[in-house]
């Protein structure tokens, strides 16, 4: 698909000067204990094997903890230098990670599992080091659909049944989170995304431009590209992903299995730095506003600050006059509950990939999750960054249709859905 948005990149000097100013501005907000300042990874066997690392990211609000770990200089405390590297699409992010051009990446959780099993691309062992955020994505419907009464799942289903034509919806990658939120939401309202609609893949920053020219009726993507559609008057928010699954996993910090094995100290250091950056973001209103101002820059998300700063504070509008405060907005830390790479979270994506025909057979759900989710490395990084760790590697969640997911019988769960491929 044609790239409809050009993203100018500022000079290195302007980015560096901005970084210097921001480090000075927020230095007082970072409480660094003497023990933490002198801790770990500075010398000896715990020293990072690689001290300068490239971390790929896509222009989305939820890349923020990676960016802020670098901009605030938190990375230096752990003996590493994080270089955030902007990419154009999730396929590009994956390919640059696998080729070794990037060391780590901001990644859709479902993508890590898909790549590990060779779905939609070359098979490559993957390692998920932490969850970067929960919540904060949404499903946008075009203003044209809204004008015909389709403003939520039920009314969309009614319109599609009464006004027959080909309806096109976009997600950001076939095995990714946005595809699964879109499919789950549609199916819960009796729409089979595989049979009743055409589904296309579009990179996140290109969603708004493609909707503007009429290439799709709706899409699921991360912020700020849902709020941006409202600001531009071309779309409405039909559902938030936290309405689909409260406190759902979203993006992860990922690397390859090979890199994690060869560079465990580097993985711990980078994870600890990003954990601390997430804690800083979630610490208060001023930090969130500073984060929004930072990542709105052309070198990161490349949008206006007002497209980011409302929903990051839980201030939502649907584009049709409804406003609300959402306590389940995007979170980066939340006392550490966000970041633990639960085995059950990864297994859920495998159940949906099986449901929608991406996996032909049931995998060994738990074994795959144990291969990918780096629990021990995470616990070490959590200790270093003073992040609380949950007692259990599984968790229980109830989704929008009342169905409970706890990871105990993934095969039965995957086969239980009436609407499937």
Residue boundaries of the structural domains of the chain: 12-134+250-301+332-341+357-392
Whole-prediction pTM: 0.91
Q: What is the mean pLDDT of each run of 10 residues along the chain (421 residues)?
A: 36 45 47 40 75 98 98 98 98 97 98 96 96 98 98 98 98 98 98 98 97 97 98 98 98 98 98 98 98 98 97 98 98 97 98 98 98 98 98 98 98 98 97
**Secondary structure (DSSP) of 69-133:** HHHTTHHHHTT-EEEEEE-SSHHHHHHHHHHTSSSEEEEEHHHHHHHHHTTTS----EEEEEE--
Element (H, E) at 390: none
Task: Quickly count: other Cβ atoms within 10 Å of residue 334's Cβ.
Answer: 15
Longest Cα–Cα distance of the chain, Å, equals 69
Question: Counting every residue, how long is the chain?
Answer: 421
pLDDT digits (tens, 9 = 90+) for 86-114: 999 999 999 999 999 999 999 999 999 99
Q: CA quadruple 353, 101, 200, 131: dihedral positive or negative?
A: positive
**Secondary structure (DSSP) of 391-415:** S-S---EEBTTS-EE-SS-HHHHHH
pLDDT digits (tens, 9 = 90+) for 61-80: 999 999 999 999 999 999 99
Residue 135's pLDDT is 98
Q: CA 155 to CA 159: how far, in whole Å? A: 6
Residue 34's pLDDT is 39
Residue 9's pLDDT is 37
Cβ burial 349-361 (10 Å sphere, 16+ → b, else e): bbbbbbbbebbee
Q: Which CATH architecture has domain 12-134+250-301+332-341+357-392?
A: 3-Layer(aba) Sandwich (3.40)
Q: CA 213 to CA 235: how far, in whole Å? A: 12
Residue 37's pLDDT is 42
DSSP secondary structure letter of residue 312: G
* Phi and psi, residue 206, nearest 5°: -95, 0
Residue 22's pLDDT is 55
**Secondary structure (DSSP) of 43-85:** SGGGS-S-SEEEEEE-SSGGGHHHHHHHHTTHHHHTT-EEEEE
Q: Which residues pair with 106 in a beta bridge?
A: 253
Task: Quickly count: other Cβ atoms within 10 Å of residue 115's Cβ.
Answer: 24
Q: CA 253 to CA 272: how far, in whole Å? A: 11
Say which residues have a Cβ less than 8 Å from residue 360's Cβ, sequence separation at least 6.
none
Task: Quickly count: other Cβ atoms within 10 Å of residue 84's Cβ.
Answer: 20
Q: Which residues pair with 141 in a beta bridge?
A: 218, 236
Residue 45's pLDDT is 80
Residue 23's pLDDT is 54
Q: CA 385 to CA 391: how far, in whole Å? A: 18
Say which residues have a Cβ less than 8 Å from residue 17's Cβ, sequence separation at least 6.
none
Q: CA quadruple 403, 236, 349, 312: dihedral positive or negative?
A: negative
């Amino acid at each position: 698909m044609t790239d409809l948005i050009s993203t100018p990149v500022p000079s290195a000097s302007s980015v560096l000067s901005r970084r210097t100013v921001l480090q000075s501005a927020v230095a007082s907000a970072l409480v660094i204990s003497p023990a933490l300042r002198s801790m770990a990874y500075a010398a000896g066997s715990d020293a990072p094997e690689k001290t300068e690392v490239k971390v790929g990211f896509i222009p989305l609000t939820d890349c923020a903890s990676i960016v802020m770990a670098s901009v605030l200089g938190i990375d230096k405390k752990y003996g590493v230098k994080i270089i955030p590297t902007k990419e154009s699409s999730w396929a590009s992010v994956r390919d640059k990670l696998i080729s070794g051009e990037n060391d780590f990446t901001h990644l859709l959780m479902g993508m890590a599992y898909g790549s590990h099993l060779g779905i939609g691309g070359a098979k490559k062992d993957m390692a998920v080091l932490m969850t970067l955020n929960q919540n904060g994505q949404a499903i946008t419907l075009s203003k044209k659909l809204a004008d015909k009464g389709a403003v939520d799942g039920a009314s969309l289903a009614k319109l599609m049944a009464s006004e027959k034509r080909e309806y096109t919806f976009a997600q950001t990658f076939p095995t990714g989170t946005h595809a699964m939120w879109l499919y789950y939401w549609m199916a819960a309202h009796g729409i089979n995304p595989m049979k009743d609609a055409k589904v296309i893949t579009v990179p996140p920053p290109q969603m708004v431009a493609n909707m503007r020219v009429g290439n799709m009726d709706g899409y699921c993507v991360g912020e700020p590209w849902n709020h941006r559609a409202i600001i531009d008057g071309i779309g409405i928010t039909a559902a938030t992903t936290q309405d689909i699954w409260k406190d759902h996993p979203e993006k992860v910090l990922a690397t390859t299995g090979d890199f994690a094995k060869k560079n465990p100290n580097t993985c711990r250091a980078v994870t600890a730095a990003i954990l601390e950056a997430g804690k800083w973001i979630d610490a208060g209103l001023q930090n969130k506003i500073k984060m929004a101002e930072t990542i709105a820059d052309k070198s990161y998300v490349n949008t206006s600050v007002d497209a980011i700063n409302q929903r990051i504070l839980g201030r939502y509008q649907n584009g049709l006059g409804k406003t609300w405060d959402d306590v389940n907005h995007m979170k980066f830390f939340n006392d550490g509950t966000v970041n633990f790479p639960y085995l059950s979270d990864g297994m859920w994506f495998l159940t949906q990939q099986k449901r929608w025909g991406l996996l032909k057979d049931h995998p060994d759900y738990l074994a795959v999750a144990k291969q990918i989710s780096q629990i021990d490395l995470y616990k070490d990084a959590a200790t270093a960054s003073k992040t609380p760790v949950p007692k259990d590697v599984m968790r229980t969640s109830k989704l929008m249709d009342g169905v409970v997911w706890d990871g105990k019988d993934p095969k039965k769960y995957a086969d239980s859905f009436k609407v499937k491929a």
